[in-house]
Structures are given as C-alpha cells and as structure tokens.
C-alpha cells in the first residue's frame, strides 16, 4: 500500500545514536533471516551486531570525514546511511545504509542514497565504493539503480564468504 508521508533526511545528532544503533541491529537481524542465513555465519552476524552500538557510532561521528544521515518519519528514525570520505583522495565509502523493514519499498533508501551522493560530490569525491554480499540481491539491485557497478569479487573475503565491491563514478 502506497501513501504519502513526509520524510526528513538530515545529519544524525549525538542524541540520535541510540535509535540509529537499535535500527541498524534490527535491520541486520532481519536481512540475515531473509537473505543471508546459511551463507553468512551467525558468529559473523553477532560480530556485526556488536559493533553497531551507540558508543562505536559516537567515535565514528567524531571523525570529520564520517557522516551519518537519518531518515525521519513522524519523529521516528526509520533509515540511516553512513558514509566516509578518505581525506582529500576523492574516494568515499558507503559504509552502511538501511531502512526499517516496515518502511522498505517506499523510496526512503533512495532519498538517503541521493543525500549520500550529494554529500560526496560536495566533498569533491570522484568515486563512491561499497561492499555487499552476492546473496543480498535487493541491495545489489538498489545499488545498480543508482549507477553502481560491480568492480570486484572478493573470494572468501570476510568470515570466509564472498563479497562484491561495487562503485559509482561521480
């Protein structure tokens, strides 16, 4: 069911980080259950869950080359994207993007991605890169829609599973 909703995309604030971490952990679990169970080891997911915590996010947010964007609907954070810029190299990394399962398919991820791309252009980047797993087909299709192309297959890269490097030239 489609309906109109007001979505505000803004930079995350320190007081958002508990909600950002909770949302990230929820989406990690949901994505693993839907797509990665049997591919990505549970111990790998447990590790990922452990680093998506407010203290870790606070440390990253203190870095001027890292930005978090949040998508807010009716005062609730329903999406998040984290991007890092590698100094003055012109390279940016999309570290994390997610939308609450109840809000997926409504364009919120696209709004976050557009904001990340605009931010990277504004910082003088010529390229954005990211890592994903081949089993995350909805994510791969999402990235393809924004002009990201597969650049490399990293065999048995992280936790013994394959990852795909995708990049977009700006």
Q: 1-11, pLDDT tens digit by residue?
A: 445 679 999 99
The arithmetic mean of pLDDT across residues 145-160, rounded, is 97
Q: Answer yes or no: is pLDDT of 42 > 50.
A: yes
Q: Answer yes or no: is pLDDT of 168 > 80.
A: yes
The arithmetic mean of pLDDT across residues 101-127, rounded, is 97
Contacts by residues 143-151 (CB-CB < 8 Å, ≥ 24 positions apart) = 143/168, 145/110, 146/110, 146/113, 146/117
**Residue 110: pLDDT band by 50, 70, 90 thresholds?**
very high
Give exposure, 12-47, as e/b (b: 16+ Cβ within 10 Å): beeebbebbbebbbebbeebbeebbeeebeeebbee
The arithmetic mean of pLDDT across residues 114-133, rounded, is 97
**Residue 44: pLDDT band by 50, 70, 90 thresholds?**
very high
Write down the domain spans for the chain.
8-127
Q: Are 7 and 108 in contact (CB under 8 A)?
A: yes
Give residue 2's pLDDT. 47
79 φ, ψ (degrees, to nearest 5): -155, 155
Q: Answer yes or no: is pLDDT of 63 > 90.
A: yes
Give residue 1's pLDDT. 42
Q: Answer yes or no: is pLDDT of 116 > 70.
A: yes
CATH dotted code for 8-127: 3.40.630.30
């Amino acid at each position: 069911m489609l309906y109109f909703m007001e979505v505000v995309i803004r930079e995350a604030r320190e007081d958002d980080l508990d909600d950002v971490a909770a949302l990230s952990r929820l989406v990690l679990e949901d994505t693993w259950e839907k797509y990665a169970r049997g591919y990505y080891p549970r111990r790998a997911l447990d590790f990922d869950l452990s680093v998506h915590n407010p203290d870790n996010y606070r440390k990253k947010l203190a870095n001027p080359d890292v930005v978090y964007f949040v998508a807010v609907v009716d005062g609730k954070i329903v999406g998040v994207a984290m991007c890092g810029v590698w100094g003055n190299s012109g390279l940016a990394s999309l570290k994390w993007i997610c939308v609450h399962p109840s809000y997926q398919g409504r364009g919120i991820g696209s709004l976050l991605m557009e904001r990340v791309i605009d931010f990277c252009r504004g910082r003088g980047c010529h390229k954005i890169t990211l890592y994903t797993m081949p089993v995350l087909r909805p994510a791969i299709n999402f990235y393809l829609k924004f002009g990201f192309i597969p650049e490399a297959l990293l065999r048995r890269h992280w936790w013994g599973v394959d990852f795909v490097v995708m990049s977009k030239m700006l």
